[in-house]
Structure 1
Amino acid sequence: MADEIDGLGFEQQHGKSKVRVGRVWRKEDGRHFFVEWNVNISLLSDCMPAYVRGDNSDIVATDTMKNTVYVKAKECMEVLSVEDFAIELGQHFTSFYQQVTTAIIKIVEKPWERVYIDGQPHEHGFKLGSERHTTEVTVKKSGALRVTSGIEGLAVLKTTKSGFEGFVRDKYTTLPESNERMLATEVSALWRYGLTIS
């Protein structure tokens, strides 16, 4: 939300970062599902009095934001995606607080994976993987929604048949062409969903 004072534009944004939450869902068949999220919240609010008069009566405290994450995670009775959790948080902040016009929720999900013992998935055993699942959800009071998700730190390796040929050659090129190389890299990727709040 942008306001003006003496011709200067202001966008009031405040938030809470690094809210770490783990959630276990225990199913009747004995299987557990586990997620660990690092949540960052930014709220855009009509709270200009806090900046010009020191009046914090419209400020949502960072402690409240942190505790909201914990409560909302506990209230999720079914396993849900990191995107769905971020949307739920954003909808809460924009509907519960009249002064909040936009909520931006960024979450990084740690890659906990179920372990396998003798080829069978363990009911409640997990190991930490490598790549992280990310999401950034923007929820506006108007109902507009933007969801961008991605992965970070996906390490990939090919031990052979990764050729590099046919590239531009000029007087500065010394690299020989090869159809037999090793390839190792780390991938980060983002994608945006076309969603609307129903």
Structure 2
Amino acid sequence: MPITLGPNRYGKAETRVVALRRGTDRHELADLNVSIALSGELADTHLTGDNAAVLPTDTQKNTVFAFARKYGIDQPESFGLRLAEHFVATQPAITHARVEITDYAWQRVGQTGHSFARGSQEVRTCVVHHDDQATHVLSGVTDLVLLNSTNSEFWGYPKDEYTTLPETTDRILATAVTATWRHATLDVDWAESHAAARHNLVDAFTETYSYSLQQTLYAMGWRVLDKQPELCEVRMALPNKHHFLVDLEPFGLDNPGEVFFAADRPYGLIEGTVLRDDAPTAGPAWE
């Protein structure tokens, strides 16, 4: 039976870099988690142990720190693009670079210009893919927790002998959004585009009268693409953060939809993609 080496990549995962800009009394703070994965003509190191084409992962880590100092960190997308292009351009054996970045938000506190507090659990994300064929940039957000206390129903679903869930015409709809959107162009104001996408996701969630979380997912993706021509595809994962009405009758109390148990697991998980009909092929960008 023939055995061959399949697709492979390697790199340095989760380099945590914090960069300060101290040019004025008002400091700027960037806090990133950077993961690099390189692929190309790397068969020899797997098959024979020859490391002639293997740029050490320690070097990759050092490059992150050096670029943070040399070029600074403005937006995670531009920093990721710079890193990805560098590794493909400088390493003959490397044909594809993937750079994944998580951007942790800090908020200013006080009046000093140099004091910060960590923001919400929501984090900004981006993934950059670069080779000699194409460059793809995906931006996104994770753990964007949203809740509608009404204007959500769920009924009309199939029922069998194992169904116990009652239908409802008024429920809490809550989720922790993981959303990723693909850019159709690299001529983008990354900060402005990200802020707009987040705004459009939230607006669609709040304004949609929902009969299912699937319907809400599509409405959110549609709103982003309708408002932002620089984007061509949106992917989302929406866990249904269930809130169950608590039975208070044993305590002689009614419960007219006011007291709930927030269950963390198990949970429904709704995933989907919304894209333009003419969206260019993403290739490996979603891997």
Compute the TM-score of the two structures, normalised by the length of structure 1.
Answer: 0.80
Cα separation, partners in 2 of 1:139 and 1:182, compared to 1, 3 Å: same
What are structure 2's unaligned runs of at least 5 residues?
188-287
Q: Distance in 2 between matches of 1:105 and 1:170?
A: 43
Q: RMSD across aligned C-alpha pairs, in angstroms?
A: 2.4
Cα separation, partners in 2 of 1:170 and 1:64, compared to 1, 3 Å: closer
1:15-58 deviations in whole A, cap 9, x for unaligned? 11111111111233x11111111111110021222222221111
Give 2:15's aligned residue.
Answer: 19
Aligned positions, number = 182
Q: Is the 8 A contact 2:137 2:186 kept in 1?
A: no
1:1-198 alignment runs, 5 A limit? 8-28=4-24, 30-77=25-72, 79-115=73-109, 117=110, 123-129=113-119, 130-140=121-131, 142=132, 144-158=134-148, 160-164=149-153, 167-168=155-156, 172=163, 174-179=165-170, 181-196=171-186
Q: Is the 8 A contact 1:12 1:46 kept in 2?
A: no
Compute the TM-score of the two structures, normalised by the length of structure 2.
Answer: 0.57
1:165-186 deviations in whole A, cap 9, x for unaligned? 6x3156557524334x444321
Q: Distance in 2 between matches of 1:42 and 1:36?
A: 20
Tell me the CA shift for residue 113 of structure 1. 2.0
Which protein has greater RCO, CA pairs closer than 8 Å, 6+ apart? 1
Tell me the CA shift for residue 92 of structure 1. 0.6
Q: Is the 8 A contact 2:21 2:29 kept in 1?
A: yes
More helix by share: 2
Q: Is the 8 A contact 1:154 1:187 kept in 2?
A: yes
Q: Distance in 2 between matches of 1:17 and 1:9?
A: 22
Give 1:3's aligned residue.
Answer: none
Give the 4+ runs in structure 1 shifted more than 4 A. Answer: 169-174
Q: Distance in 2 between matches of 1:91 and 1:138?
A: 9
Cα separation, partners in 2 of 1:169 and 1:106, compared to 1, 3 Å: closer
Cα separation, partners in 2 of 1:18 and 1:174, compared to 1, 3 Å: closer
Q: Is the 8 A contact 2:11 2:38 kept in 1?
A: yes
SS at match of 2:152: coil
Percent identity (aligned):
30
